[in-house]
A and B are shown apart, each in its own frame.
Chain A
């Protein structure tokens, strides 16, 4: 096919995935909101089964993480993520996907330094700063209780 640079630019713009904020933000809102609504449904279901609020919350996280691992393994999660952007990143399913996806991808580099180590390439920093922030807060809170 013989086309000029300008034509190619227009063609590329037309076939490339939507990247304008007018599309990305509503998509993130809709899909992220849908995942949270599913979470709310699971919370209500576990509460109706008689679990305490804390346990229902933990079971909901576990269920969403399981679903995310399954969909990531089936290569469906990343396909949805191409359209959803932050909508599939910000929910806990995105955290699970950030663990499962590199685990799967780097399995070929070995079970210890491939799968085992690369699993934490994104989750690692999340835990480092999340846990550290919680420890700082714990120390501040402890000092407050002394006053």
Chain B
């Protein structure tokens, strides 16, 4: 039952964060690049204020998978690095905590671009 609730909260919170993004796209015509950027910066701010971690605690993947979770991870990394290295840590923590995600996206992106044929993705369905 507990595990079912975990999944339910992950679904509801993750879905809600995506629905907010869709409302922004539909109402404000924000481009995808702006949505992604806003979500990461919002995550950094919420993480800095300590408001995001409680959401992670009960929603798990529902809070860590959306890009606000990536922002929260940046804030967490910076806080840890400043605790360990002082002011220099402010320039270390973000990249340290983003390392796996960014490296994976770059490397798998390169592999995918080498393995798969490029082609217009829009013509596929029409």
Task: Decide if A and B are genuine partners.
Answer: yes
Q: Is the CB of B91 within 8 A of A135?
A: yes
Interface size class of B (residues with CB under 8 A): 35 or more
Q: Is the CB of A29 within 8 A of B18?
A: yes
Chain A residues with Cβ below 8 Å from B25 are 24, 85-86
- The yes or no answer to A34 lying at the interface (CB within 8 A) is yes
Q: Is the CB of B124 within 8 A of A90?
A: no
Q: Is the CB of A69 within 8 A of B19?
A: no
Closest chain-A Cβ to B79's Cβ sits at a distance in Å of 6
Chain A residue with the shortest CB-CB distance to B120: A105
Number of interface residues of A (CB under 8 A): 81
Q: How far is the CA of A122 from the CA of B40 in the complex (A)?
A: 13
Q: How far is the CA of A35 from the CA of B19 in the complex (A)?
A: 13
> What 1/0 mask marks residues of chain B from 59 to 86 whose CB sits below 8 Å from any chain A CB?
0111011110111011101110111001
Chain A residues with Cβ below 8 Å from B64 are 39, 43, 57, 60-61
Q: Is the CB of A91 within 8 A of B109?
A: no
> What 1/0 mask marks residues of chain B from 102 to 121 whose CB sits below 8 Å from any chain A CB?
10111011111101101111
Chain A residue with the shortest CB-CB distance to B9: A40
Q: Is the CB of A21 within 8 A of B91?
A: no
Q: How far is the CA of A4 from the CA of B17 in the complex (A)?
A: 42
| Given A33-B11, A86-B18, A130-B41, CB of A79 within 8 Å of CB of B70 | no
- The yes or no answer to B51 lying at the interface (CB within 8 A) is no
Q: Is the CB of A103 within 8 A of B21?
A: no
Beyond A60-B64, A105-B118, 9 extra complex contacts between A and B, CB < 8 Å? A34-B15, A38-B61, A39-B14, A44-B3, A69-B108, A69-B109, A131-B98, A133-B71, A137-B47
- Chain B interface (Cβ < 8 Å from any Cβ of A): 3, 6-7, 10-26, 32-33, 35-37, 39-41, 43-45, 47-48, 60-62, 64-67, 69-71, 73-75, 77-79, 81-83, 86-87, 89-91, 93-95, 98, 100-102, 104-106, 108-113, 115-116, 118-121, 124-125
